[in-house]
Amino acid sequence: MSYRIPLIKPYINDRVKELVSEVLDSGFLTEGPVTRRFEEAVASYTGVPHAIAFTSCTTGLETALRVARIGPGDEVIVPDYTYPATANAVKIAGAIPVIVDVNPDTLLIDYDKMEEAVSANTKAVIPVSLFGNPLDFDRLIKMKEHYGVLIIEDAACALGSSFKGRKTGGWSDMTVFSFHPRKFITTGEGGMVTTQNAQWAKAMHQYKHFGMGKVAGREEMVFQDTGSNYKMSNILAAVGLAQMEMVDDLLDERIKLAANYHQLLKGCKNIKIPETTKNGIHSYQSFAVLVPERDRVMKKMREEGIEVQIGTYALHQHPAFQQRGVRLRGQYPGSIRAWEETLVLPMYHSMTNAGQAEVVEKLTACVE
């Protein structure tokens, strides 16, 4: 179904087409020099020495866990309100996801519940900077120092966000981004891991390339476990590289659109906007609101030609996370509320103020 006002429109301009055409003309289509340039652009933007491109955020998360030697018998704490990939990556690596509630105001992991879930087997936490809302690293770093756990951030939605002036990607031990088409920087499908750790960066490059590395000038299978093929092609990297040349402009436009939504929604009864982390700058990969009777409102909005979507999932409600090998911690009132009430509104680079005004007009009518 096509909508008058879609949820998202990937920003594809002539520069994107130019770089993709250059790759096609070169005949070098698999991972290569353009992928390296894309990695360098993301590393520079996030202020870290190492960025490693992957086929997706999910494979990036899995590889981050593997190079940190997290596997069977280890526990990794994740929020309940997130896309399943966050916990799935833990299961794929052979570790145990320990699922905790989220804060009902920010929809981010509940830091108190996270600390309560730490055990002798906890090796890492994977907090999620949901929708582009940055994490509170004052809390996370204190936890890391106290318990000795790693912070592997699922920043699928959060490229461009920052906390206390420092970009997301530069705070965690490893940060994993997504370039799915709903992200404002997209490669169609793809992901990226950023880190300060040269040893991990080298191991990730090896793992995603069948476990290969050079020994005495020869290619050998050197990764400590069996490697895989998680390489990002030059073609996809060219799309991302072209967009990274415009990242500041694209981010500024999203922040302006979000500010306009905030203004339009001011005073609207029964419509709540999740709070942004204190001292943080939100990148607004998605503009989310909480409304009563979300499913009814969503159906009506779509009937009006406006594409809206749920936020994400409450993991504990799904059979895949009610099995052995997953640890559920306590109750999930914050996550249940987020799951039942969160609605994502349309937002894209070419969206007009008039389009936003229509979205809000229809939304308030549906809610009231």
| Main-chain phi, psi angles of 2, to 5 degrees | -100, 150
Domain limits, the chain? 1-368
pTM of the model: 0.95
pLDDT for 323: 86
The size of the chain, in residues, is: 368
* Domain 1-368: CATH class, spelled out: alpha beta
Contact 68, 93 (CB under 8 A): no
pLDDT for 330: 87
pLDDT for 218: 74
pLDDT for 198: 98
Contact 233, 30 (CB under 8 A): yes
Q: How confident is the prediction along the chain (368 residues), in pLDDT tens digits per residue?
A: 689 999 999 999 999 999 999 999 999 999 999 999 999 999 999 999 999 999 999 999 999 999 999 999 999 999 999 999 999 999 999 999 999 999 999 999 999 999 999 999 999 999 999 999 999 999 999 999 999 999 999 999 999 999 999 999 999 999 999 999 999 999 999 999 999 999 999 999 999 998 887 766 777 767 667 889 999 999 999 999 999 999 999 999 999 999 999 999 998 989 999 999 999 999 999 999 999 999 999 999 999 999 999 999 999 999 989 988 899 988 999 999 999 999 999 999 999 999 999 999 999 999 98
Contact 129, 111 (CB under 8 A): no
HSE, CB side, 13 Å, CA atoms: give it for residue 316: 21
pLDDT for 311: 97
- Pick from 79, 81, 78: nearest CA to 337: 81
pLDDT for 1: 67
| Separation CA 362–CA 8 (nearest Å) | 18
pLDDT for 89: 98
Angstrom CA distances, 314 to 75, 79, 232, 326, 355, stand at 19, 9, 30, 14, 31
